[in-house]
Amino acid sequence: MDFEITAKDVLGRICRIETPHGRIETPTVLPVINPNIPFISPSKMRDFGAQAVITNAYIIFRSFGEEAIEKGVHKLLDVDFPIMTDSGSYQLMLYGDVEVSNREIIEFQRKINSDFIVPLDIPTPPDADFETARKDLEITIEREKEAKEIKGESFLVLPIQGSTHAELRRESAKKAKEIGGDVYAIGAVVPLMDAYRFRDLARIILEVRSVLRVEPLHLFGCGHPMVFALAVALGCDLFDSAAYALYAKDDRYLTVYGTKNLSELQYFPCNCPNCTKMEPDEVRELEKREREIFLAEHNLYVTFSEIRTIKNAIKENSLFELVEKRIRAHPNLLSAWRQIKDYSKILENSDPSIKRKFLYCGLETLMRPAVKRHLDSLKQINFEKDTIVISTDFGIIADLYLRPVFGPVPSELLESYPAGHAEIPDADIIEKEALETAVENLKELMRNLQGKRFVIYLSGRWKEFLKDLPGECEYVLH
């Protein structure tokens, strides 16, 4: 597969994937199309921003059979852009069995000219016991090997399974990489999202990304815009979901901050074409079918609006800032994101070392790679002079200036990224953890400069934190 990364930030990327039916630029969402229930016409999906769709090969196999083979899936859905076909694993998870073998459904997907085909993997639900998850994974791996042999010219999507067992998710990713797919897809996580178990979701994504460092990564069943920024920053490139339709049928209205019921809304907090032409009271008066279409279209508009916002953040290297805003929509998102401190090495290896700006958005900002890189750079500093002047006041001429979050900043680097390009609240109002991190970085530098004398100009709240510093220190209150 022709796959090119054009921009990066955090673990997120903008990528180009070339297919026989056109280019896909990630991150993006593939809306789910049910071929038996044309809720919103697949041909209209471009109007909302979709570049590709996903449909269910098992449903097409059961409902259309030879007709689908004669027409091909693109003609069947009346679209000329890329299509991914799922294999029926969702039905397998719901009903425990499907009336088709892995080989049959792979060959069928190939015959209907699907751009991306998926083997009939075993979607082990969250919290399954280890032995069950392991046995299901063994079956999935064998089916992926079979799919590799018979996929033809179509691109192969290899599911990553293993329930909530980190060890099995890593093993699944390693085995899939050995088999060799074009896209890798994290499966069986919808129950986690439905239960707002974003911490478990984030851990699974990070475990998989620790193995698949570069390859395109799809997150099955993720369709709520409140989750996209987090998932992209953790390394997901592609998403798919029927959420736009399922939520609409239940009178639910999607926003980047959560879900609203239509009955709760007095005003629409959105400027999409639908929300600017009608008021909530008017929509509530519509016939059920019209109301569902209105909400589904809004849900698609807000979905792709958020995708464009994320892409722009990647381009301007502000994805950290965007995520740190979005995770405040729900405490479980906040908890999920804070796990990045346990995967700092992965982030360091991927996140660009030079950016335009550094905006402090809260305690999570302390976990960014730029903060650790600043500390690492301090270890390379040496001074020929015996006395080093450190100041918390930029009005005093000094060798080093103290900034919240970063700690000591050499005067020569006050205009350089990250500390010199940082927008940070004053020490008097910022969280104490930001000052504690800065002081720990200062202590680390002072230990590396053994034998030096330090003159430290103190002001404001810094006086509370600059105590018990190593080495010979003279404090000057200012």
Q: Annotated active-site positions, please?
A: 86
Q: What angle do CA 1, 173, 61 make, to 5 degrees?
A: 60
DSSP states of 373-417: HHHHHHTT---SSSEEEEES-TTS--SEEEETTTEEEEGGGTTST
Exposed, middle or buried, 444 (CB in 10 Å: 0-12/13-18/19+)? Answer: middle
Which residues are 407's β-sheet partners? 403
For residue 460, the Cα-to-chain-centroid distance in whole angstroms is 39
Helix (H) or strand (E) holding 371: helix 369-378
What's the CA angle centered on 118, arms 191 and 147, to 5 degrees? 135
Residue among 170, 158, 205 nearest 11 (CA): 205
Instruction: Identify whether the C-beta of residue 236 lies closer than 8 Å to the C-beta of residue 218.
Output: yes
Structure tokens at 41: 């016409």
The full DSSP string for 133-184 is HHHHHHHHHHHHHHHHHH-TTSEEEEEE--TT-HHHHHHHHHHHHHH--SEE
Phi, psi of 97 (to 5 degrees): -165, 155
Contact status, residue 4 vs residue 16, Cβ threshold 8 Å: yes
Buried b (16+ CB within 10 A) or exposed e, 261-297: ebeebeebebebebbeeeebeebeeeeeeebbbbbbb
Q: Are strands 400-403 and 407-410 parallel, antiparallel or unpaired?
A: antiparallel
| Sole residue written with tokens 């003609």 | 75
- Residue 285: alpha-carbon gap to chain centroid: 37
